[in-house]
Amino acid sequence: MEEKVKKNKDKYFGIGIAIGLPIGIPIGIMLDNIAIGPAIGLSIGLVIGVILESRYNKSGNDMLPAGRRKIISILLIGIIGLAVGALLFTCFLGKG
């Protein structure tokens, strides 16, 4: 039983990191330091992983498909918003 909980915990951290790293890239571009973007994204991803793990491992149940769709849609909207923000930032406030 403990092995199953550990596998789920690792799964949610992996999902969080996979979500956070692409979020950090536009942040690094906005800060004009691309190397720091993945580090910021990693920390954002770890926070997302902790939130997912605490939310879905309380009862020991796995995430339902409706919950997955909701999380994916919220994250896609956030990623698109960050990308548009980075584009606007670089166009209007950037060096070019």
Residue in 64, 50, 59, 57 with CA at minimum distance from that of residue 7: 57
Does residue 18 or residue 94 have the better pLDDT?
18
pLDDT, tens digit (0-9, with 9 covering 90-100), for 58-68:
666 666 777 77
pLDDT, tens digit (0-9, with 9 covering 90-100), for 36-53:
888 888 888 888 888 877
- Kindly report which listed range (53-57, 67-71, 73-77, 92-96) carries the lowest average pLDDT score: 92-96
pTM of this structure? 0.57
Find the helix packing angle between 37-56 and 2-30, rounded to 10°.
Answer: 150
Q: Is 40 left (phi over 0), alpha (psi -120 to 50) or beta?
A: alpha
- Cβ burial of 3 (10 Å; 0-12, 13-18, 19+) is exposed
Mean pLDDT of the chain: 76
CA 17, 50, 82 angle in degrees (round to 5)? Answer: 50
pLDDT, tens digit (0-9, with 9 covering 90-100), for 16-36:
888 888 888 888 888 888 888
